Amino acid sequence: MALFSRAKGGPQTTVEQAAPPPPSAPALERLPGAPGVDPNGLRGIDEHRDYLISMIGEMRPFGIGLMDASGLTLCESLTSDLNLPIYTSATVTGWAVRAATLAGAGEMNPIILPVVGSVEAGDPRGVPLTPGTAVRVAAGAPVPEGADAVVPLDFGMVVGDEVEFRVEARFQQNLWLAGSRVTDGDRLLGHGAMLTPRALGLIAEVGHDKVLARPRPRVALVTAAKGLIEPGLPLTRLTERYDSTTTLLAASLHDDGAQVYASGILPPDPKVVANSVGEQLVRSDLVILVADYTPQLLQGLSGLGAFDLAAVDGFGHPMLFGLVGPDRTPLLMLPVSPVAAYLAYELFGRPLIERLSGQEITEPDLVDGQLTSPLESDPVRTQLVLAHSTSAGVRPLPFVGDQGATELSDANTVVFVPAGVGTIPIGGGVVCWVLD
């Protein structure tokens, strides 16, 4: 089912009919199978998302130590190869016997058994129980093989080396049976199970030290922009601003289970960017390049692999995706603007992390809402408008100049405004994408 169906725009064209790239765009190796576009040259959000997911596969699983496996997905079915408890033990201090030996015991028919040994908690269980004998056992001690009941200590009267019973014993009385918690061969976890702390504790308790799982995706986060300053450093020009985009994306990647390697802020020089991307490939399962598209930048990257360049509905920046390097590592370029980068990551980046991790692809949470102030649609392109949703309705956040992390922190919803619908009035129904 489509997530963001376009209200207008007509049918899509085929790839061959799609509008050609701008004359300034460089020749490059293009990825196959790109979706078509609408008459305005725009690719749908759903189509772009599905296409990117289809271009990559799951990472190969391998044996990972339990200490490093929390949050990963199990790629095998696990069974127990031992019993828990490992041995049958007494739950009370008493006499280990065969229950059948005391059949008929009573006040008028005492049964006397020789005491042939004793077992304390922590001792080995010793030799098997000889029929017609008794062994004194402490609470928690292993019960000798052959014993199938423990009579409480006070129910046996010691007379020299013998013990007299005037009560019968019940089969498996006062025993904690081996395998009563987990039996050898029991299925513990199935393929695809999430390795939560409790699941890992279960695996450790039966003696496994590793699991077959896909590792956390390693993501190289390369930021290339002019006038961006890392937080903590001084601003020296009016044209400079602090970089919130890298922090936003790194935090999102961490939350999605990725290992993030940030390269710092590079100048948007095509050669510098291409060299940095190439250097990151040795430790990356995904490269996210934070940069604003230019034909020159694409020209610099073109020698690394094959690319798909598309104008995607809802976004004013061209979307670049590539498979680069000898291992065809996926590269996703996101815009420098914090809002656009964050929304693009949520729609296109997170599914790639989930795909690499072998997880089910999560879908954006869409709900219906009513506006508390009007919204004007764009005649050609879908708009994704930051808003704050409450029980009173959906309030679009004011757009004055650029929007950044400040507005994102105030928003909990993105309003989906289809192209070409004119003004959506106060009280008008809209589709909202819930951020949190």
* Average pLDDT of the segment spanning 159-186: 94
Q: Model confidence at 1, in pLDDT bands (50, 70, 90)? A: very low
| Letter string b/e over residues 139-174, b meaning 16 or more CB atoms within 10 A of that residue's CB | bebbbbeebbbbbebebbeeeeeebebeebbeeebb
What pLDDT shows up at residue 88?
95
Q: How far is CA 139 from CA 117, 122, 151, in A?
A: 15, 10, 11
What pLDDT shows up at residue 138?
96
What pLDDT shows up at residue 6?
39
**% of the chain at pLDDT higher than 90:** 81
The set of residues, in sequence order, having a beta carbon less than 8 Å from that of 123 and lying 6+ positions away, is: 141, 142
What pLDDT shows up at residue 407?
83
Residue 232 backbone zone (phi > 0: left; psi -120 to 50: alpha; other: beta): left
Instruction: List phi, psi (to 5°) of 97.
Output: -140, 175
* Average pLDDT of the segment spanning 9-36: 57
Domain boundaries, the chain: 45-60+216-357, 63-83+181-213, 89-176, 365-434
Asked if 221 contacts 235 with a C-beta cutoff of 8 angstroms, the reply is: no
Q: Could you tell me which residues are beta bridge partners of residue 220? A: 261, 287
* Average pLDDT of the segment spanning 299-324: 94
CATH 2.40.160.20 assigned to domain 63-83+181-213? The reply is no
Site of tokens 């009579």 = 151
Q: Quote the pTM value.
A: 0.79
What CATH number belongs to 45-60+216-357?
Answer: 3.40.980.10
Give residue-wise pLDDT tens across range 337-381: 999 999 999 999 999 999 999 888 999 999 999 999 999 999 999
89-176: CATH class: mainly beta
How many CA atoms does the CB half-sphere of 387 hold within 13 Å? 27
The token pair at 18 is 């799609």
CATH of 365-434, one of 3.40.920.10, 3.40.50.460, 2.40.340.10, 1.10.10.60: 2.40.340.10
Q: What is d(CA 189, CA 202) in angstroms, rounded to the nearest whole number?
A: 9
